[in-house]
Structure 1
Amino acid sequence: MGAIAATLEYAVPAEVAFRYLSDPRNRPEWQSSLLSVEVPPDEEPHLGQAWRERTAVGVRPHMETTELTPFRTWTERGSWRGVTATLTLHFTDIAGGCRVRAEGEVSGRGIWSVPAGAAGLLASTAIAADLRKAGRILASRSSQ
């Protein structure tokens, strides 16, 4: 099992960051591994929302929002074959913007435990880079 942890500060309020990061339709814009998501274009984020992602390495996980507390906490769970991953984003307003804290884990069953462990080792770095990109996107939009 691999643990995921990253904390970043954004120059936008928690509400703005939450709305952007919790909407799967925005993911290909800021998540480097994603080519596309399959979710109805007019479907607003909600608890139990499900979507499918298409990644650059050919993985097509089934995703679901398992926790949604507006502007505070959002959790997704993804599964593909024998690998399961969870990611929770915590949002806190701070002076001049917000703090986004990511935590989660990647685990695998049977023959999938080794690749899941490897993915977990790389996940924190990748997620931090993706969240930094999201922060830059949001900051550029708020300054326009």
Structure 2
Amino acid sequence: MTRIEVAVPVPADRAYGYLADPRNRPAWQSSLRAVAAVRDDDSAWTDVTVVPGVRPRMRTTLAEPPYRWVEEGTCGPFTARLALTFAPEGDGCRVSADFAVRGLGVGGPLLTRIARVAVAADLRRAAELLRTA
């Protein structure tokens, strides 16, 4: 697992509500063009990525508002897990993201290392969007 931490300038309940809603993801997640087939309870959806044909099937595996939210996804031989933890910090909160990609051979660990930069940038983008909303 790899951990990223980002200060978010809004309370944990607001950050949780925004980040846990898959319909908000394309606004802050650089790898997404859209989300599709979102279930009414937001517990399962398909990511439509910027890479044609790559559409991971995603699902929420844990939801403890406003403290913790976990998703898992599968795409071909790979699975990914992202756990977000929200902790109050001053007038805002700190979001900790633990994530890993698992798959064939060195592919999973390599994708986890590559994703570190993108996950950090995506969470900073979400924090900025929340700040200006």
> Which of the pair has more CA radius of gyration?
1
| Aligned residues between the structures | 132
- Contact 2:34-2:48 at 8 Å conserved across structures: yes
Relative to structure 1, the CA distance from residue 103 to residue 35 in structure 2 (aligned partners, 3 Å threshold; closer, same or farther) is same
Helix, strand or coil at the partner of 2:106: helix
| Paired residue type of 1:82 | P
Q: How much does 1:104 deviate?
A: 1.8
1:52 counterpart (34, 46, 50)? 46
| Paired residue type of 1:37 | V
Is 127-136 or 54-63 further displaced after alignment? 54-63
Relative to structure 1, the CA distance from residue 139 to residue 44 in structure 2 (aligned partners, 3 Å threshold; closer, same or farther) is farther
- Contact 1:5-1:102 at 8 Å conserved across structures: yes
**RMSD over aligned Cα atoms:** 1.4
> Is 1:93 aligned to 2:65, yes or no?
no
Q: Taking structure 1 as the reference length, what is the TM-score of the superposition? A: 0.86
| Paired residue type of 1:95 | G
Q: Any stretches of 5+ residues in structure 1 without a counterpart?
A: none
Q: Any stretches of 5+ residues in structure 2 without a counterpart?
A: none
> Is 1:125 aligned to 2:125, yes or no?
no
Helix, strand or coil at the partner of 2:4: strand
> Is 1:71 aligned to 2:71, yes or no?
no
Helix, strand or coil at the partner of 2:116: helix
